[in-house]
Chains A and B, each alone.
Chain A
Amino acid sequence: MTCPKAAIRSLSYYLPERVLTNEELASEYSGWSPHDIQAKTGIRKRHIVGPGECASDLAVAAAKELFATGACTPSEVGCLLLCTQSPDYFLPTTACLVQDRLGLATTCAALDVNLGCSGFVYGLGLAKGLIETSQAENVLLITAETYSKHIHRRDKSVRSIFGDAAAATWITAEETGRDILGPFVYGTDGKGAGNLIVPAGGLRQPRVVDAVAVEDGSGNQRTVNDLFMNGPEIVTFTLRIVPQVMAQLLTKAHRTMQDIDLFIFHQANQYMLEHLRRKLNLPEAKLPIMMSHCGNTVSSTIPILLKDLQTSGRLSAGQTLMLLGFGVGYSWAGAIMEWRQMPAGARPKNACRVP
């Protein structure tokens, strides 16, 4: 018996035009050379939005890139999920702005998801739920982040790592007898909330006008309005949680490490990912790291990596992938999926239409 099963059909992404290079960073921070920054972060450059550029602008640009491939059209979109932690407004929801700007039908469902590095995998899980319960025929999942707006100019610890970006992923139903996306594993530990946070600007602590910057022991400065990341705590959390989630996923999927063709992890930090690769005894090709051209783009790192792998010919239909996102919250999500992406413009022969 066949039933609608969700599958990724196509991905596109957009990086804003302005580029922040290691040379520019090195010129601002004494004691750092471009080589040092590259060696410590694995990042050559990050793309940063301009002053008037917001998450919705990146989201619209990424979606237009997707439409331009011919994978889908605006009128087809039945549900828009938009993941961001840098929304244009408290309200209305950024997804509503994007629905209008993209010319999506008014019958299109649209909502925001406020998650960071786990957001893409969560989005896939939500899309699967909506499609496989026939609540949506398809889902346009957009991840869009402008963390640079949260970052103090004198905080090199985060300014050197994070970049702005958006990715658009087209997920549709396919009539088949087996799961294509999934199983999924989710997790949350709010005790880690204070380790990656923008303390002020919400309603708990409104944005502080003329906030005073405080310098930490590493010479980085930030105010309460800015992003704070406790790097050691985040890394320790990652080293603890990633092996656990991997084991849970493999058990749930009745698979072994050898069954996984590619481990697609959130591109948080090259140094840490290389360490994980060694710790898990995986060859370089199985746990790809491709973040030097855009940095850590939060919820967009996984779709950007998938797109870059596809472009470079390292993804092929039928491969089994393990996706893993982890970070701010703490929040994490993992999934095993089969790569079924169609060439640009192609439609699956057995794509189904939900009545």
Chain B
Amino acid sequence: MKKEDFLREIEDIAGAKRGTVSMENNLRDLPQWDSMAYVAFITFADSKLTLLIDPKRLASCRTVRDLAALAGARLA
């Protein structure tokens, strides 16, 4: 998946407007980054990246770049 598409997914999950999320964003600053957003991110990763995310690693993420790092090589 391209990084731009990844950011659009994060915008959808967090209820953010198109083009407003970057790798540098702190997750806590996103409009709706809450417990359900974590669930949505896990299902997104499973379906579109075929990646079962480790919840403990996910819980340690602070920025969008941290989330991207979980996806690793699956992001182009």
Contact = CB atoms under 8 A, between A and B. Distances in A.
Interface of A: 31, 36, 40-41, 157, 216-220, 230-233, 235-236, 239-240, 269, 271-272, 275, 278-279
Interface of B: 15, 28, 31-36, 38-40, 42-43, 46-47, 52-55, 58-59
Listed from nearest, the 5 A-B pairs whose CB atoms lie closest are A232-B55, A218-B34, A275-B43, A157-B35, A218-B35
A27 to B, nearest CB: 17
Most buried by A among B28, B32, B35, B54: B35
A234 B58 CA distance: 13
- The residue among A230, A235, A240, A279 with the most chain B CB atoms within 10 A of its own CB is A235
A216 B43 CA distance: 22
Given A232-B42, A235-B43, A236-B42, A157 B34 contact: yes
A189 to B, nearest CB: 15
A293 B53 CA distance: 31
Q: Is the interface of B mostly helix, strand, loop or mixed?
A: helix
B44 to A, nearest CB: 9
A233 B58 CA distance: 10
Contact of A272 (B15, B39, B54): B39
Nearest to A239: B46
Given A219-B34, A232-B55, A272-B39, 8 more contacts: A218-B35, A232-B58, A236-B54, A269-B39, A275-B43, A275-B46, A278-B47, A279-B47
A64 B40 CA distance: 40
Contact of A235 (B33, B39, B47, B59): B39
A236 B38 contact: no
Given A36-B32, A157-B34, A232-B42, A275 B47 contact: yes
A31 B52 contact: no
Contacts of B40: 40, 271
21 contacts: A31-B31, A40-B36, A157-B34, A157-B35, A216-B35, A218-B33, A218-B34, A218-B35, A220-B35, A230-B55, A231-B39, A232-B39, A232-B53, A232-B59, A235-B39, A236-B54, A239-B46, A239-B52, A240-B52, A275-B46, A278-B47
